[in-house]
Protein backbone atom coordinates (compact mmCIF):
# COMPACT_ATOMS: atom_id res chain seq x y z
CA UNK A 1 0.00 0.00 0.00
CA UNK A 2 1.47 3.34 -1.04
CA UNK A 3 1.71 5.72 1.91
CA UNK A 4 3.48 8.64 0.25
CA UNK A 5 4.29 10.16 -3.12
CA UNK A 6 7.45 12.21 -3.37
CA UNK A 7 7.58 14.92 -6.01
CA UNK A 8 11.01 16.02 -7.18
CA UNK A 9 10.97 18.62 -9.93
CA UNK A 10 12.92 20.94 -12.13
CA UNK A 11 12.54 24.56 -11.10
CA UNK A 12 9.68 26.31 -12.87
CA UNK A 13 7.90 23.21 -14.17
CA UNK A 14 4.93 23.56 -11.79
CA UNK A 15 5.82 20.82 -9.34
CA UNK A 16 4.36 22.50 -6.27
CA UNK A 17 1.07 23.20 -8.03
CA UNK A 18 0.83 19.61 -9.21
CA UNK A 19 1.67 18.29 -5.73
CA UNK A 20 -1.07 20.44 -4.21
CA UNK A 21 -3.65 19.25 -6.75
CA UNK A 22 -2.54 15.65 -6.23
CA UNK A 23 -2.89 15.89 -2.45
CA UNK A 24 -6.38 17.33 -2.88
CA UNK A 25 -7.31 14.62 -5.36
CA UNK A 26 -6.20 11.85 -2.99
CA UNK A 27 -7.28 13.54 0.25
CA UNK A 28 -3.71 13.24 1.58
CA UNK A 29 -1.54 15.60 3.58
CA UNK A 30 0.64 17.98 1.59
CA UNK A 31 4.18 18.58 2.83
CA UNK A 32 5.66 21.45 0.86
CA UNK A 33 5.82 24.76 2.70
CA UNK A 34 4.89 22.82 5.84
CA UNK A 35 8.05 20.75 5.42
CA UNK A 36 10.16 23.91 5.28
CA UNK A 37 8.44 25.06 8.49
CA UNK A 38 9.31 21.77 10.17
CA UNK A 39 12.94 22.04 9.07
CA UNK A 40 12.99 25.57 10.45
CA UNK A 41 11.57 24.34 13.78
CA UNK A 42 14.18 21.61 14.07
CA UNK A 43 16.99 24.06 13.34
CA UNK A 44 15.50 26.72 15.62
CA UNK A 45 15.48 29.17 12.74
CA UNK A 46 12.86 30.74 10.48
CA UNK A 47 11.23 29.34 7.33
CA UNK A 48 12.66 32.26 5.38
CA UNK A 49 16.19 31.26 6.37
CA UNK A 50 15.67 27.63 5.45
CA UNK A 51 14.26 28.59 2.04
CA UNK A 52 17.37 30.63 1.33
CA UNK A 53 19.80 27.91 2.36
CA UNK A 54 18.15 24.56 1.59
CA UNK A 55 19.47 22.68 -1.43
CA UNK A 56 22.22 25.21 -2.04
CA UNK A 57 25.89 24.32 -1.81
CA UNK A 58 26.76 27.73 -0.34
CA UNK A 59 27.21 27.25 3.45
CA UNK A 60 27.15 30.94 4.33
CA UNK A 61 24.22 32.24 6.34
CA UNK A 62 22.36 35.38 5.50
CA UNK A 63 22.71 38.86 6.97
CA UNK A 64 19.03 38.99 7.93
CA UNK A 65 19.78 36.80 10.98
CA UNK A 66 22.44 39.01 12.51
CA UNK A 67 20.11 41.37 14.37
CA UNK A 68 17.95 38.49 15.63
CA UNK A 69 20.94 36.46 16.83
CA UNK A 70 22.45 39.37 18.70
CA UNK A 71 19.60 39.05 21.23
CA UNK A 72 20.20 38.65 24.94
CA UNK A 73 19.76 34.85 24.81
CA UNK A 74 23.06 34.60 22.94
CA UNK A 75 24.97 35.75 25.99
CA UNK A 76 28.63 36.26 25.16
CA UNK A 77 28.68 34.14 22.01
CA UNK A 78 29.31 35.86 18.70
CA UNK A 79 26.32 35.73 16.36
CA UNK A 80 28.16 33.50 13.88
CA UNK A 81 28.26 30.72 16.48
CA UNK A 82 24.57 29.95 16.08
CA UNK A 83 24.48 30.98 12.45
CA UNK A 84 26.84 28.13 11.66
CA UNK A 85 24.05 25.71 12.60
CA UNK A 86 22.17 26.78 9.48
CA UNK A 87 24.70 25.79 6.86
CA UNK A 88 23.71 23.43 4.08
CA UNK A 89 25.11 20.33 5.80
CA UNK A 90 22.94 20.96 8.86
CA UNK A 91 19.89 21.54 6.67
CA UNK A 92 20.51 18.20 4.92
CA UNK A 93 20.68 16.24 8.19
CA UNK A 94 17.58 17.88 9.63
CA UNK A 95 15.67 17.49 6.36
CA UNK A 96 15.83 13.71 6.63
CA UNK A 97 14.30 13.85 10.11
CA UNK A 98 11.57 16.19 8.84
CA UNK A 99 10.77 13.93 5.88
CA UNK A 100 10.46 10.88 8.15
CA UNK A 101 8.19 12.86 10.46
CA UNK A 102 5.97 13.81 7.51
CA UNK A 103 5.65 10.16 6.52
CA UNK A 104 4.74 9.18 10.07
CA UNK A 105 1.75 11.54 10.02
CA UNK A 106 -0.20 9.49 7.49
CA UNK A 107 -0.60 9.28 3.70
CA UNK A 108 1.05 12.30 2.13
CA UNK A 109 2.53 14.06 -0.87
CA UNK A 110 6.05 15.32 -0.13
CA UNK A 111 7.70 17.94 -2.32
CA UNK A 112 11.46 17.83 -2.73
CA UNK A 113 13.80 18.47 0.23
CA UNK A 114 15.63 15.24 -0.54
CA UNK A 115 12.59 13.08 0.22
CA UNK A 116 13.16 10.91 -2.84
CA UNK A 117 16.65 10.06 -1.57
CA UNK A 118 15.80 9.64 2.10
CA UNK A 119 12.88 7.34 1.24
CA UNK A 120 14.43 5.56 -1.74
CA UNK A 121 14.36 2.14 -0.05
CA UNK A 122 10.73 2.35 1.09
CA UNK A 123 8.41 0.04 -0.84
CA UNK A 124 5.40 2.06 0.31
CA UNK A 125 6.65 5.28 -1.32
CA UNK A 126 6.08 6.22 -4.97
CA UNK A 127 8.79 8.55 -6.28
CA UNK A 128 8.08 10.86 -9.21
CA UNK A 129 10.24 13.35 -11.09
CA UNK A 130 8.70 16.25 -13.01
CA UNK A 131 10.44 18.17 -15.78
CA UNK A 132 9.65 20.46 -18.69
CA UNK A 133 11.36 22.23 -21.61
CA UNK A 134 13.36 25.32 -20.67
CA UNK A 135 11.17 27.63 -22.75
CA UNK A 136 8.01 26.30 -21.12
CA UNK A 137 9.40 26.86 -17.63
CA UNK A 138 10.49 30.41 -18.41
CA UNK A 139 7.13 31.23 -20.00
CA UNK A 140 5.28 29.75 -17.05
CA UNK A 141 7.23 31.87 -14.54
CA UNK A 142 6.75 35.05 -16.60
CA UNK A 143 3.01 34.35 -16.84
CA UNK A 144 2.92 34.07 -13.04
CA UNK A 145 4.47 37.54 -12.69
CA UNK A 146 8.21 36.88 -12.53
CA UNK A 147 10.24 39.43 -14.54
CA UNK A 148 11.71 37.84 -17.67
CA UNK A 149 15.31 38.39 -16.62
CA UNK A 150 14.70 36.77 -13.22
CA UNK A 151 12.77 33.89 -14.76
CA UNK A 152 15.64 33.08 -17.10
CA UNK A 153 18.23 33.33 -14.34
CA UNK A 154 16.27 31.16 -11.92
CA UNK A 155 15.56 28.46 -14.49
CA UNK A 156 19.21 28.39 -15.57
CA UNK A 157 20.76 28.30 -12.07
CA UNK A 158 18.41 26.79 -9.47
CA UNK A 159 18.65 23.20 -10.62
CA UNK A 160 22.43 23.52 -10.78
CA UNK A 161 22.40 24.49 -7.09
CA UNK A 162 20.26 21.47 -6.27
CA UNK A 163 22.54 19.16 -8.22
CA UNK A 164 25.64 20.53 -6.50
CA UNK A 165 24.06 20.16 -3.06
CA UNK A 166 22.96 16.57 -3.67
CA UNK A 167 26.36 15.65 -5.09
CA UNK A 168 28.29 17.14 -2.17
CA UNK A 169 26.11 16.18 0.79
CA UNK A 170 24.20 13.09 -0.38
CA UNK A 171 26.92 11.72 -2.70
CA UNK A 172 24.38 11.19 -5.48
CA UNK A 173 23.66 12.65 -8.89
CA UNK A 174 20.61 14.86 -9.45
CA UNK A 175 18.36 13.59 -10.75
CA UNK A 176 19.30 10.00 -9.90
CA UNK A 177 16.91 8.48 -12.45
CA UNK A 178 17.10 4.92 -11.21
CA UNK A 179 15.36 5.76 -7.93
CA UNK A 180 12.21 7.17 -9.55
CA UNK A 181 9.11 5.17 -10.35
CA UNK A 182 7.90 7.63 -12.98
CA UNK A 183 8.96 10.81 -14.76
CA UNK A 184 6.53 13.23 -16.41
CA UNK A 185 6.82 16.20 -18.73
CA UNK A 186 4.58 18.86 -17.15
CA UNK A 187 4.12 20.59 -20.48
CA UNK A 188 1.20 18.19 -20.89
CA UNK A 189 -0.62 20.13 -18.17
CA UNK A 190 -1.07 19.89 -14.41
CA UNK A 191 -4.35 17.97 -14.53
CA UNK A 192 -2.87 15.41 -16.92
CA UNK A 193 0.13 14.78 -14.67
CA UNK A 194 -2.07 14.50 -11.58
CA UNK A 195 -4.31 11.92 -13.21
CA UNK A 196 -1.33 9.95 -14.46
CA UNK A 197 0.16 9.90 -10.97
CA UNK A 198 -3.13 8.75 -9.47
CA UNK A 199 -3.33 6.01 -12.11
CA UNK A 200 0.23 4.90 -11.38
CA UNK A 201 -0.42 4.63 -7.66
CA UNK A 202 -3.63 2.72 -8.27
CA UNK A 203 -1.78 0.27 -10.53
CA UNK A 204 0.94 -0.23 -7.93
CA UNK A 205 -1.57 -0.86 -5.15
CA UNK A 206 -3.73 -3.04 -7.40
CA UNK A 207 -6.92 -1.14 -6.68
CA UNK A 208 -9.00 1.85 -7.70
Asked if 42 and 97 touch (Cβ cutoff 8 Å), the reply is yes
- The 10s digit of each residue's pLDDT in 92-111 is 778 889 999 999 999 999 99
By residue range, what is the domain housing residue 20? 4-205
- CA angle, 135 then 32 then 184, to 5°: 40
11 CB-near residues (< 8 Å, 6+ apart):
137, 154, 155, 158, 159, 162
Global pTM value = 0.79
- The 10s digit of each residue's pLDDT in 34-73 is 887 887 788 776 667 666 665 554 443 333 233 222 333 3
For 12, 146, 167, the CA distances from 101, given in Å and listed in that order, are 27, 33, 24
Q: Is the pLDDT of residue 179 over 80?
A: yes
- The 10s digit of each residue's pLDDT in 114-165 is 899 999 999 999 999 999 999 999 999 999 999 999 999 989 988 887 787 6
Asked if 53 and 88 touch (Cβ cutoff 8 Å), the reply is yes
Q: What's the confidence (pLDDT) of residue 50?
A: 62
Listing from the earlier edge strand, what are the strands of the sheet with 108-111?
Answer: 29-31, 108-111, 4-9, 125-131, 182-185
Asked if 156 and 12 touch (Cβ cutoff 8 Å), the reply is no
- The 10s digit of each residue's pLDDT in 66-87 is 322 233 333 333 444 444 445 6
Task: State the total domains in the chain.
Answer: 1
Distance CA 18, CA 84 (A): 34
* Residue 82's CATH number: 3.40.50.300
Amino acid sequence: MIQAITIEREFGCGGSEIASLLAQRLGWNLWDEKLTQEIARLTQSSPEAVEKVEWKEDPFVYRVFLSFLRGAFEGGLPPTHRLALLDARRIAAVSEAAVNLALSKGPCVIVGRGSQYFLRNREDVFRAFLYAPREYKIHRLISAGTPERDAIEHVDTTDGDRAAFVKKYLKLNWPERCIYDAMFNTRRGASYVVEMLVHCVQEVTGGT
